[in-house]
């Protein structure tokens, strides 16, 4: 028998549907940071991001018997989180409140995104410290419309393929690529504006 930690997400989900709670706990552990991170980048509220994570896995657990492997488990989990984030944004829009507090994800990921954004060249953030790069990037991403923020979060910070992002967002892959181009162009302009006099 395969060690629980070595099983794929899909195998763990099948085991969970069969009543294996240890398998579900492993999925919780594998996805906690990823879903919280994704939700934070979408909502910019660390408490709401944790709530989205908990609600995502509550939904997954409640529907474990109906789970079908029509897509990767990660796509399934992100799709649920995406829908919950959209619902939260609608509620927040009605309340007209926004939280821009610093989220649970650290500077290593943001610095990696800065390097990815600048494509290894001497981008506008190159002379700045990693902490300053992190701060400026988070500020610029926070200004993006949620549909563009989602693409940045899933592609850069979570490393998902365009096809998987399209499945999560429920739109075509070409739409996701277009959103990515727009978001990157905006971020480059915004970051240059913050650094250059």
Q: Could you tell me the pLDDT band of residue 61, with boundaries at 50, 70 and 90?
A: very high
Tokens of 123: 């981008």
Predicted local distance difference test score (pLDDT) of residue 197: 57
- Residues 123 and 114: their CA atoms lie apart, in Å, by 8
Distances (CA, A) of 118 to 71, 102, 111, 164: 32, 23, 11, 24
What average pLDDT does the chain have?
80
Average pLDDT over residues 52-74: 90
- Residues 98 and 12: their CA atoms lie apart, in Å, by 36
Lowest mean pLDDT among 45-54, 152-161, 172-181: 152-161
- Residues 21 and 16: their CA atoms lie apart, in Å, by 6
Report whether pLDDT(1) > 70: no
pTM of the complete model: 0.59
- For the chain, domains (ranges, CATH) are 7-95 (1.10.1740.10), 107-195 (1.10.10.10)
Predicted local distance difference test score (pLDDT) of residue 33: 95
- Residues 121 and 191: their CA atoms lie apart, in Å, by 14
Tokens of 151: 């693409």
Closest to 158 (Cα-Cα) out of 21, 26, 39: 39
Q: Are 16 and 27 in contact (CB under 8 A)?
A: yes
């Amino acid at each position: 028998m395969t060690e629980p930690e070595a099983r794929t997400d899909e195998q763990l989900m099948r085991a969970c549907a069969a009543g294996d709670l240890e398998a579900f706990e492993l999925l919780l552990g594998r996805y906690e940071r990823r879903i919280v991170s994704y939700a934070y980048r979408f909502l910019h509220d660390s408490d709401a991001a944790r709530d989205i994570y908990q609600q995502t896995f509550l939904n997954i657990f409640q529907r474990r018997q109906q789970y079908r492997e029509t897509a990767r488990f990660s796509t399934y989990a992100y799709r649920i989180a995406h829908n919950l984030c959209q619902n939260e944004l609608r509620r927040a829009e009605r309340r007209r409140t926004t939280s821009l507090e610093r989220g649970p994800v650290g500077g290593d990921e943001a610095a990696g995104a800065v390097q990815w954004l600048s494509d290894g060249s001497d981008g506008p953030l190159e002379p700045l410290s990693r902490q300053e790069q992190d701060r400026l990037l988070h500020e610029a991403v926070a200004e993006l419309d949620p549909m563009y923020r989602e693409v940045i979060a899933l592609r850069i910070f979570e490393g998902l393929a365009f096809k998987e992002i399209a499945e999560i967002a429920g739109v075509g892959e070409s739409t996701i690529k277009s959103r990515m181009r727009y978001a990157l162009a905006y971020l480059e302009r915004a970051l240059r504006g913050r650094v250059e006099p």
